[in-house]
Amino acid sequence: MSLAGLQQMKREGRKIVAVVAWDYQIAQLADRAGVDLVSVGDSVGVNLWGQQEGEITLEEMLIVCKAVRRGVKRALVSCDLPPPQGTEAAVRLVREGGADMVKLNGTAEAVRAIVRAGLPVFAEFHGGGAAAELVVQAKRLEEAGASLLDFRHSGPEAGPAVVRAVSIPVLGGLGGGPWLDGRIRMAHAAIGYAASNLNSEIENYANVAQVTLKAITAYAEDVRAGRHLKGQRPA
């Protein structure tokens, strides 16, 4: 996959599939499933490591980005640029981390600075305002050189307006919808990985938390009963 390929998908009306991944194994599975873009999210700090919002560092993001890059062979890989955002940090995510592009939630000026350094940018912005204002914001990000947009909380009015106004693909994370060029979602959310999914009424594509709990409980019972473990041959 390439940026040109994603732009071709937009022109042809084919939806772009993106997932957020934080580890080598999920990255491999997502790539094998045929997703078009794997985004290495700084959400790993809160959702996988139990950190506070904004606590994650560039060095930690580099570790995660490298792991995901090792697992992805076909899809494009983007990596979130943690604060403080800067060109030097963006260069490291591409050169050291192996990302194809960097993702940031910033101004057109911030996008322009990174693009001038020769790096593709996946720019995030949020809905909530009037459709006309959001179209202007999207155009500014495109003019600054952004290759992709993540339009969160787009809504059925502003979403289609932005998609029509820009030539670059517009994906949607939180609050996105089928009116955009594609969707992006945390792989761990889609498979129901978190412990909170044990008692959640939200319908996901799977409930890995329940399966994992049952498996580890069964393992513990076998150990305590002195039984041979499933998947292991007796010595």
Please identify every residue annotated as catalytic: 157
Residue 8 and residue 179 in contact, taking contact as beta carbons nearer than 8 Å: no
The CB density around residue 128, as the number of other CB atoms within 10 Å, is 12
Q: Which H helix or E strand runs over 220?
A: helix 208-225
Contact 45, 75 (CB under 8 A): no
Q: 51 Cβ partners below 8 Å, 6+ apart?
A: 45
Distance CA(42)–CA(174), nearest Å, equals 15
Strands 170-172 and 148-152, sheet pairing: parallel
